[in-house]
Amino acid sequence: MSSKKMGRPLSDNPKSITIKIRIDQEVMSKLEASAEKLNTSRSHIVRQGIEKIYDDLQK
């Protein structure tokens, strides 16, 4: 019998940190609409926004 575990493969970049934010209904609506239009998760939209701001600050 193999000693490997069953389940999802390990990620090269695990997302193990959780943050909690407070937003108003308008921002939440924009986040939901963006995620739906791009067919992705809300978390992915937030990560993209952080990357965009960071890249803009590096210029």
Higher-confidence residue of 6 and 36: namely 36
Q: How confident is the model at residue 44 (pLDDT cuts 50, 70, 90)?
A: very high
Does some domain include residue 15?
A: no
Q: CA dist 18 to 8, 14, 15, 35, Å?
A: 20, 12, 8, 19
Note whether 35 and 44 are within 8 A (CB). Answer: yes
Angle at 15 between CA 27 and CA 54, to 5 degrees: 55
Does some domain include residue 39?
A: yes
DSSP letter at 4 equals P
**Kind plus residue range of the DSSP H or E element containing 53:** helix 42-58
pTM of the model: 0.77
Higher-confidence residue of 7 and 32: namely 32
The pLDDT score that the predictor gives to residue 12 is: 86
What is the residue range of 38's domain? 25-58
Does some domain include residue 12?
A: no
